Amino acid sequence: MHTVIKKALGHKPVLTMLAGCLLGAAASAALAAPANDNATLSQIRDSAMRDNWAYERLADLTDLVGPRLSGSPGAAAAVEQVAEAMRKLGAKVTLQPVKVPHWVRGAESGELVDYAGRPAGITQRVVLTALGGSGATPATGLTAPVLVVHSFDELQAHAAEARGRIVLFDVPFDQQMADRGMAGPAYGHGANYRVNGPRKAAELGAVAALVRSVGGADYRIAHTGATILDDKARIPAAAVTTEDALLMTRLAARGALKMHLTLTPQTLPDADSFNVIADLPGSDKADEVVIVSGHLDSWDLATGANDDGAGVAGAMGVLATLKKLNLQPRRTIRVIAWMNEENGTRGGKAYFAASKDQLEKQVAGIESDSGSGRPFGVLSSVAPKVEPLFEPLMAALEPIGAGAFTRRDVLGAADLHPLEQAGMPVFEPHVDTHSYFHYHHTPADTLDKVNPDDLRRHVAVMSALSWFLANMEQPIGRTLKP
Amino acid sequence: MHTVIKKALGHKPVLTMLAGCLLGAAASAALAAPANDNATLSQIRDSAMRDNWAYERLADLTDLVGPRLSGSPGAAAAVEQVAEAMRKLGAKVTLQPVKVPHWVRGAESGELVDYAGRPAGITQRVVLTALGGSGATPATGLTAPVLVVHSFDELQAHAAEARGRIVLFDVPFDQQMADRGMAGPAYGHGANYRVNGPRKAAELGAVAALVRSVGGADYRIAHTGATILDDKARIPAAAVTTEDALLMTRLAARGALKMHLTLTPQTLPDADSFNVIADLPGSDKADEVVIVSGHLDSWDLATGANDDGAGVAGAMGVLATLKKLNLQPRRTIRVIAWMNEENGTRGGKAYFAASKDQLEKQVAGIESDSGSGRPFGVLSSVAPKVEPLFEPLMAALEPIGAGAFTRRDVLGAADLHPLEQAGMPVFEPHVDTHSYFHYHHTPADTLDKVNPDDLRRHVAVMSALSWFLANMEQPIGRTLKP
């Protein structure tokens, strides 16, 4: 405890210290809980706001390593690069083994080969991309009639027609909902069809399944993502672009529509990979852990700058910020770069399994996985009674426009979800996501989409939040378990 | 002339006729130039604004035929489809032979195979698309160091380094300029590098040339377009996406950058094709021609809804509007769907060659080739003294927000350019183009980008303008010849 006070005070600007002395009562309050005083939190915030270290690490990750789907050479290179960057900060880095799915994209193409009104010799190309977990067509593709539906109910109503067909789920992404700050629910609605649609189509005998890309952009880009298929009916499954879904729906309205589809992905044996874990050891409560994290794997189409390079860089930035200020927390701050969030969450599961005898020591977790949009506050699944304790933190984040604390019963951050279900409260930067799903899971999720200033704000929020959680005097408490 | 008056009056609403009688002097003025009176122009405008015929033709062209690059099966099918649609309107349709370039896209891929900081086993994929007219790499591609430049001056300063390299012109598109209503100049700046950059690189011994896509979108889509190469040095040439240009520039700043490039397009012998020409014969000045046109060919990546399906549909819509109202113009209104605007303008040249003995009879020409953005007026290269004559037309277009007349010395509409150079004044709908170059020459130039209401407004502007030009009492005059 003394060490902490000494170090914290040792780095405060002199004027701030003088102000603390002169303020009398306020200064006494600060001394009562020195680690989480406004001066220290502000110092952390301001230091992060001046530092491009995290952005530089994000540039290294995206420009030098690039895509890093679980099991790929990129994922392996990313583990090495991120571990090395944190070793250079002086952190103790551990690689936690994780067995990950190993799915590899193959050739992919689509062609509308017959439809009402088709001129002789004409076919229409469809832009599509295989979903992670998709089965394969023959190498030369397959040809089948297309059944277009717009909901699961419509699929059921046409259940008898699905056999032998390619089923297209033409379900639009609700960008207006996303624009109103509800990108998550808008995504959830569409993602339900991506995750579960192909399996439901397979159960009805469909030979392949297509989903309309889950995202709001209109640049004929396909959004990949995971789908869940039974091994016994692993049919080919792909996302078509919004434009191509609209085209297919219009052509189907003119009459029978036939498609040639080629998808040749491979599902290989599970591969060896790792969560990258770096600890900033705590002082008097070192056995209690505050996790701050993002996921290191990405989809294979892009360099995953926002999903979730920004989250990893932000979490690493917490370490860099506190190291630079030479601040030691009371609890251990544990930076984790998760492996395999995208298509298995095996990293989160492996960590949970390894922690299951000491779950109460996992006192809080942060995961940033909603992109690098400007943060305007903090989301959390703490119990309601604990919420007022966060007022000093939010006061320190208010000057950068990030002072809003929003509580939810469950956040559902993928990698932390098992811990959250077990009672650990989860936190994340609350960010502007209105354009996040324009780029999400597409080839366009690249470094240029990350505003360096916004990323510095992320680091500021995550650093102050991590510090605050690691130094709270009071128990943080547990979530409302479902 | 009598025929015209009778027909025009015969279709005026009764109330309009009564109003004309009651207005006295105004009515007399209308009778002095009955064909171009406000009532007739308003009737044309309003009829076009209620009619989806042009949009339906655009849907047929894009959904059923699709891409239609010169020499392709799609271009041939488009000629048939558009000719048939105008025959159904009762027009006399002529197919004017045009020999067109026949360039066919092949395989295309790019990979950054070495760069400073590259982890072992890692390469970075580059999204690119061959430029029309590009030469080919060997089937297995070529590997060469990359020289990044940002201007022709920079290329000259590094002229000695170009030999044996792949030259990338990383020249950004000025979207802010486009947002200020100057999309044309913004495009022109970038297109200069696309059209002329590869040839200049070839002259310095470059083994291939890349240009940053000319367009303002950030969805990792490559914008194709024509480049002009000497047959003796037809090097491979492609457009990389904005994201990939940025990546390559960043990696080149870290050290030497090496790329593997595969482009296997073919330049085949010139192919037979056609301009589609449909006449609405004039009455007393039938030998004088007013052209209203768009270009029928498109690039091969998309269905060319805005470039220039909308222009063709708009021009056909003029015929449909006037036929529906049973209005006969004094001069002949000639609808032309040009072939080969994109990579040769052979259609425009063929028409000019065929008209060269009667150029003075080509009294005016309209070409719509800036997309289907909302029209707010008319652009023209008439001589300044003629401008006031257009006031009645603009008054009739004012109620739909399209009442602005803007004169320029040269419009430079590609297919009409030889005629314009010979003195024929050229016209086009003046439209909102701020997002036109987001989609232009990309796979995303698809039907969903066309707002049906905006297209109706295009037809209204083009119909009223065509009618006005075909019935002007005064000579339309000639352009200021350059």
Interface of B with A in 150-209 (CB under 8 A): none
Paired residues of A132 in beta bridges? A226
Contact B444 A220 (CB under 8 A): yes
| Cα A349 to chain centroid, rounded | 15
Q: What is the fold, at CATH topology level, of the domain defined by B2-101+270-471?
A: Aminopeptidase (3.40.630)
Which residues of chain A have a CB within 8 Å of the CB of B246?
Answer: 446-448
Contact A431, A458 (CB under 8 A): yes
A126 touches chain B (CB under 8 A): no
Contact B223, B442 (CB under 8 A): yes
Query: Domain residues of chain B, as ranges?
Result: 2-101+270-471, 106-264
pLDDT of residue B413: 85
**What stretches of A126-283 show up as alpha helix (H) in DSSP?**
152-157, 159-162, 175-179, 183-203, 242-254
| Cα A320 to chain centroid, rounded | 21
- pLDDT tens across B221-253, in order? 999 999 999 999 999 999 999 999 999 999 999
In Å, what is the CA distance from B472 to each residue of A38, A48, A99, B467? 78, 70, 79, 9
Taking CA–CA distances from A113, the nearest residue in chain B reads B64
A386 touches chain B (CB under 8 A): no
Q: Which of B119, B124, B221 sits opposite A219 (nearest CB)?
A: B221
Q: Which of A117, A219, A254 sits opposite B217 (nearest CB)?
A: A219
Contact B119 A81 (CB under 8 A): yes
Chain A, chain B: beta-carbon pairs less than 8 Å apart = 114
Contact A210, A168 (CB under 8 A): yes
pLDDT of residue B9: 35
- B256 to chain A nearest CA, in Å? 13
In Å, what is the CA distance from B464 to each residue of A132, B36, B395, B398? 54, 9, 11, 12
Tens-level pLDDT at each residue, chain A (482 residues): 333 333 333 343 333 433 333 333 333 333 334 689 999 999 999 999 999 999 999 999 999 999 999 999 999 999 999 999 999 999 999 999 999 999 999 999 999 999 999 999 999 999 999 999 999 999 999 999 999 999 999 999 999 999 999 999 999 999 999 999 899 999 999 999 999 999 999 999 999 999 999 999 899 999 999 999 999 999 999 999 999 999 999 999 999 999 999 999 999 999 999 999 999 999 999 999 999 999 999 999 999 999 999 999 999 999 999 999 999 999 999 999 999 999 999 999 999 999 999 999 999 999 999 999 999 999 999 999 999 999 999 999 999 999 999 999 999 889 999 999 999 999 999 999 999 999 999 999 999 999 999 999 999 999 999 999 999 998 898 887 65
Which residues make Cβ contacts (< 8 Å) with residue A400, sequence separation at least 6?
Answer: A45, A49, A457, A460, A461
Contact B435, B373 (CB under 8 A): yes
Contact B315, B360 (CB under 8 A): no
Catalytic residue among A80, A203, A288, A341: A341
Mutating which of A223, A440, A446 best tests the B interface, going by the most B Cβ atoms within 10 A?
Answer: A446
Contact B121 A73 (CB under 8 A): yes
Q: Which of B119, B302, B442 sits opposite A65 (nearest CB)?
A: B119
What's the helix, strand, coil split of chain B in %, to 5? Answer: 45, 25, 35
A230 touches chain B (CB under 8 A): no
Which residues of chain A have a CB within 8 Å of the CB of B255?
Answer: none
Taking CA–CA distances from B67, the nearest residue in chain A reads A124
From the number of C-beta atoms within 10 Å of its C-beta (0-12, 13-18, 19+), residue A44 rates as buried
Q: Which of B127, B250, B446 sits opposite A243 (nearest CB)?
A: B446
Residues in chain A: 482
For residue A222, which of B212, B221, B125 has the smallest C-alpha distance? B221
**Strand ranges for B105-228 from DSSP E:** 108-115, 124-126, 128-130, 142-149, 166-169, 208-212
What secondary structure does DSSP assign to A21-56, as a single string? HHTTHHHHHHHHSGGGSHHHHHHHHHHHHT--HHHH
Mutating which of B436, B446, B451 best tests the A interface, going by the most A Cβ atoms within 10 A?
Answer: B446
- A255 to chain B nearest CA, in Å? 12
In Å, what is the CA distance from A25 to each residue of A30, A31, B173? 9, 10, 58
User: Which tokens is B27 given?
Assistant: 């009515």
Which residues make Cβ contacts (< 8 Å) with residue A40, sequence separation at least 6?
Answer: A8, A12, A34, A327, A467
Contact A413, A420 (CB under 8 A): yes
| Domain B106-264 belongs in CATH node 3.40.1480.10 | no
Q: Which of B59, B115, B246 sits opposite A448 (nearest CB)?
A: B246
pLDDT of residue B412: 81
- pLDDT tens across B256-279, in order? 999 999 999 999 999 999 999 999
Q: List residues of B with catalytic annotation.
A: 341
Contact A122 B73 (CB under 8 A): yes
- pLDDT tens across A15-60, in order? 343 333 333 333 333 333 468 999 999 999 999 999 999 999 999 9
A302 touches chain B (CB under 8 A): yes
Could you give the CA distance from residue A371 to residue A120 in angstroms, rounded to a whole number? 47
- B307 to chain A nearest CA, in Å? 15
Taking CA–CA distances from B64, the nearest residue in chain A reads A118
What secondary structure does DSSP assign to B361-411, as a single string? GEEEEEE--S-SSPEEEEEE---GGGGGGGHHHHHHHGGGT--EEEE-S--
A66 touches chain B (CB under 8 A): yes
- B302 to chain A nearest CA, in Å? 9
Contact B220 A443 (CB under 8 A): yes
Could you give the CA distance from residue B462 to residue B175 in angstroms, rounded to a whole number? 28
Contact A64 B115 (CB under 8 A): yes
- A70 to chain B nearest CA, in Å? 14
Contact A220 B442 (CB under 8 A): yes
A224 touches chain B (CB under 8 A): no
Contact B235, B198 (CB under 8 A): yes
Contact B298, B169 (CB under 8 A): no
| Residue B34 banded pLDDT, cuts 50, 70, 90 | low
B84 touches chain A (CB under 8 A): no
User: Which tokens is B295 given?
Assistant: 């270009």
Which residues of chain B have a CB within 8 Å of the CB of A435?
Answer: none
B22 touches chain A (CB under 8 A): no
Could you give the CA distance from residue A90 to residue A108 in angstroms, rounded to a whole number? 45
pLDDT of residue B319: 98
Could you give the CA distance from residue B190 to residue B227 in angstroms, rounded to a whole number? 12
Which residues make Cβ contacts (< 8 Å) with residue B282, sequence separation at least 6?
Answer: B288, B328, B329, B330, B331, B332, B333, B470
| Domain A2-100+270-471 belongs in CATH node 3.40.50.300 | no
* Residue A341 is among the residues annotated as catalytic for this protein: yes
